[in-house]
Amino acid sequence: MKKQNQTQEEFERIERYLDGLMDREERAVFENSLKTDKELNLRVEEVSLLRLAVEEQTLRNKLDDFHAEMLLNRPAKTIRPYIKYAVAASVALLIGFAIWLLAGQKSTEEKLFAQYFKPAPGLVTPMSTASDYEFYRGMVDYKQGKYSEAINRWEPLVKEKPENDTLNFYLGLSWLAKGEAGKAIDFLSKAVTIQNSAFIDEAWYYLGMAQLKEGRPEEAVRSFGKSNLENSRVIAGEISGTK
């Protein structure tokens, strides 16, 4: 196809034709020019192809997302029964060892953090968020535990939309899941300032967790106090109890 410019008028006329939106008269005129104008035929074909490319590529990306999410929800059936017990036993050993390590070496704050921290579940990715393509892809990474990848996708987005509560919340969580409490505090303290956020209780809760991990228990108690989650009350109680 030649590298010629296409006017907006022609582009829109072609779309009207492809979508069957022409009235009978316009259609007759257009089909007449199609008969004689070979270049016009090619340009109609080109617009139709480009539209299909957008649609099909989007579907392909979605199929990958469906697949990733399906695997996440799928129980690991390939493990044979006896291996399962062996795995369970070694996991129990590991957990025991980890607790011993944490209990022996970490501060009270770190102990509490390790006891309670669990990354929030990701968002279900319905149609409305699917339009935010990069955000959606990042959410798939997040759900798979690929926090660095999620951060890489989301950081450019939050620069464009610094006031977005969802982005600030999940960026904070990703950093926290990576163990970078300082970075997590940056994003979560932003997230708690956003009015009418659906994540407000969770944001305060995780901000408290991040502050706890940073060894700032007084600030953590204050944050937990602003969250209506049951866990916030429990942890705030435990922190106060250890003091």
Residues lying near another protein in the complex (CB under 8 A) are found at 1, 3, 5-6, 8, 11-12, 46-47, 49-60, 62-64, 66-67, 70, 126-127, 130-134
Q: How far apart are CA 236 and CA 112, in angstroms?
A: 10
> First and final CA of the chain: distance in angstroms?
75
Residue 66 or residue 85: which is nearer to another protein going by CB? 66
Report, in Å, the least distance between residue 98 CB and another protein: 31
Q: Which is nearer to another protein, 118 or 127 (CB)?
A: 127
Residues in the chain: 243
- The smaller minimum CB distance to another protein, of residues 26 and 215, is found at 26
In the complex, least distance from residue 43 CB atom to another protein, rounded to whole angstroms: 10
CB of residue 163 to another protein, shortest distance in Å: 15
CB of 9 to another protein, least distance (A): 9
Is the Cβ of residue 6 or residue 32 nearer to another protein in the bound state? 6
Nearer to another protein, 130 or 229 (CB): 130
Shortest Å, Cβ 18 to another protein: 11
| Residue with smaller CB distance to another protein, 15 or 110 | 15
Q: How many CB atoms are closer than 10 A to CB 239?
A: 19
Following DSSP, what letter does each residue of 72-113 receive, concatenated?
Answer: HHS--TTS-HHHHHHHHHHHHHHHHHHHHHHHHHS-HHHHHH
Q: CA 100 to CA 112: how far, in whole Å?
A: 14
Instruction: Give the single-character DSSP code of 180.
Output: -
Residues 6+ apart with CB under 8 A from 17: 27, 30, 44
Handedness of CA 154, 230, 88, 83 (dihedral sign): negative
16 sits in the region (left: phi over 0; alpha: psi -120 to 50; else beta) called alpha
**What is the closest distance, in whole angstroms, from the C-beta atom of residue 156 to another protein in the complex?**
8
Cβ distance to another protein smaller for residue 160 or 218: 160
CA neighbor of 165 nearest in space, from 119, 203, 122, 139: 203
Residue 71: alpha-carbon gap to chain centroid: 17
Q: How far is the CB of 242 from another protein (least distance, A)?
A: 46
